[in-house]
Amino acid sequence: MNKFGKIAIDGLVTNNASFKLVLGTCAALGMSATAIGGLGMGLSVTVVLLISNVLISLLRKVIPNTVRIPAFVVIIATLVTLLRFFLDKFLPDLYETMGVFLPLIVVNCMILGRAEAFASKQPVLDSAIDGVATGLGFTLALTVMGIIRELLGNGSLFGVKLWDFTIGFFSKSAGAFFVYGICIALFVFITDRVEKAFRAKRSQKLRVPDGIAPLEAPETSQAKEEA
């Protein structure tokens, strides 16, 4: 796997912001009541992550080290403000749905963390891929939680009513914490099993290097000589 593939896998799975690093918890709990809310918040964060990572990477040699954190916050806050204007103008329903959680993207530790840990030290293309992968991993987590909570709590999916039977617990805060915990446990369990299987397969391949034929049994060698 090349460098870009590793960056993508790291953001999507290995260090998934919500299910592995448990970042952006406020948005994950508050915006996952419905699938469309989780998807909208995830994509909004992805856009901010992508553009902020690119800008910070471009300016990484210009921004003084002593003021890098305030500079990062200013960049992120500007992007979130522009995003709010865009959503209010073109997607007012989504803007109303996101409510107070939209401006809170400014203080999302995931965005500032990627700016400080990655974008401020890496080239532009690498930073862009990291922003997209991290954002899509976050989007996937919120959408999955939103689908579960909406199906069980409202009996609908993306606003389309499917059945009348509902469990109100999943529409409330306690339900958000419960679903979040279950999703984290399942995600960690599955990814750990897959990683162990991959390591076992890789170590098995390393035991017999490519291009080296296995040793023949003595009977086989003797039969060949007699022939």
pLDDT tens-place string over residues 148-183: 999 999 999 998 999 999 999 999 999 999 999 999
Predicted structure pTM score: 0.86
If you count them, how many residues does the chain have?
227
Instruction: Write down the mean pLDDT value for the chain.
Output: 89
Written as one letter, the residue type at 173 is: S
Q: What is the pLDDT of residue 212?
A: 52
Which of 105, 95, 85, 97 is closest to 32 using CA atoms? Answer: 97
Residue 211 pLDDT class (50, 70, 90 cuts):
low
- pLDDT for 47-102, tens place per residue? 999 999 999 999 999 999 999 999 999 999 999 999 999 999 999 998 998 988 99
